[in-house]
Amino acid sequence: MNFKKISIAILILGSIAAIVAYNIYNKPHVNVSEVSVDIAITAVKIFNDFTADENAANHTYLEKITEVTGVISNIKIEKEKGIVALQTNDDFGNVLAHLSVDATKEISALKEGQTITLKGICTGYLMDVILVKCEIIN
Amino acid sequence: MKTIITIICYFLFLTASISQERYLTKSGTINFYSKSQIEDITADNNQVLSIVDATSGKMAISILIKSFMFKKALMQEHFNENYLESDRFPKATFQGNILNFDTLKDTAIKLKVKGVLTIHDISKEKTIEANFTRTKEAILVEGNFMVILEEFNVEIPAVVAKNIAKQIKVTFNFNHTPYKK
């Protein structure tokens, strides 16, 4: 009897542990369209922050859900993914927003010169400030 | 970090006075692939910056570690937090010279690029072979090479050692177009 009880207990605990482990292993990616914004900022300001002090800006923005507002300077589609460039005060650098698959479907509605708000995840600064998985907010 | 910016600026501005022949892509792709008995792991980065100076045959590549996208969020988290420590070392870079660059005409040829690869703040000399194709409008560079994790002080804990290959296959594809302001 005792042996039976213990084995049942072990079996239950084991299954719980397995379910927990499985869920952690299959933890979903952050859904940008559903999570709340960490930082809302203009394209000009975020670019200036990165050029002024990249380390500090990395600390502030990396992996944050960032909402960026700016004027579209370029729109293109590469490998079926839309890329929207937002103007900054710098001649060479932009804020480059790489759109999600869903947002890419709405890319034809966008025009150069238009002001737009995008929400994405900031991954850092090369020549441009890079945002990935962007959704069009406005 | 400053040196990387300096080097990129060097390519962009200094060479500008000598020649206009710079080619660049801001959306180059790098994929890595780890094959082990237990699982295969792959991740893509579509935001790679690569610059080719067609006058000197120099090449500079800059990669954001956090731009690598994994199928599983947990893998991406471990990759960034534990293995590559992307908060401390957000970029990987490669700077090198394309050997025999002047032999590159409009047909595809294999060329070697000799330079320094920096990952996880460790720099190693590396010669990478790649397929080069030059057209009127573009310089296409593609190929692959192996990265040995140990060489770049990337430590994999014993628990998951069987899940991750000791050598990672890195595949790259850069379609450089002429750089205009």
For the segment B51-84, what is each residue's pLDDT rounded down to a tens digit? 999 999 999 999 999 999 999 999 999 999 999 9
Q: Closest residue of A to B70, CA-based?
A: A29
CB contact at 8 A, A39 and A67: yes
Residues of A in contact with B46 (CB under 8 A): 78-79, 81, 98
CA distance B50 to B35: 27
Burial (0-12, 13-18, 19+ Cβ within 10 Å), B178: middle
For chain A, what is the mean pLDDT? 93
- Extract long-range pairs of B12-16: CB within 8 Å, 24+ residues apart: B12/A92, B12/A127, B12/B51, B12/B179, B15/B53, B15/B55, B15/B56
pLDDT digits (tens, 9 = 90+) for B140-179: 999 999 999 999 999 888 888 899 999 999 999 999 999 8
ipTM value, please give it: 0.86
**Over 70: is that where the pLDDT of A74 sits?**
yes
pLDDT number for residue B18: 47
Interchain CB distance below 8 Å, A62 and B90? yes
Chain A positions contacting chain B at CB under 8 Å are 24-30, 54-55, 58, 62-63, 78-79, 81, 83, 91-92, 96, 98, 123-124, 126-128, 130, 132
The pLDDT tens digits for A87-135 are: 999 888 999 999 999 999 999 999 999 999 999 999 999 999 999 999 9
Tell me the pLDDT tens digit for each residue of A21-73.
888 888 889 899 899 999 999 999 999 999 999 999 999 999 999 999 999 99
B-chain CB neighbours of A84 within 8 Å are: none
Does the pTM surpass 0.90? The reply is no
Helix (H) or strand (E) holding B43: strand B40-53
Architecture of domain A39-136: Beta Barrel (2.40)
Number of helices followed by number of strands (H, E) in chain A: 4, 6
**Domains, chain B, ranges and CATH?**
2-178 (2.40.128.110)
What was the pLDDT predicted at B9? 55
Q: Closest to A62 (Cβ–Cβ): which among B5, B27, B66?
A: B66
Domain assignments of chain A as residue spans, ordered by start = 39-136
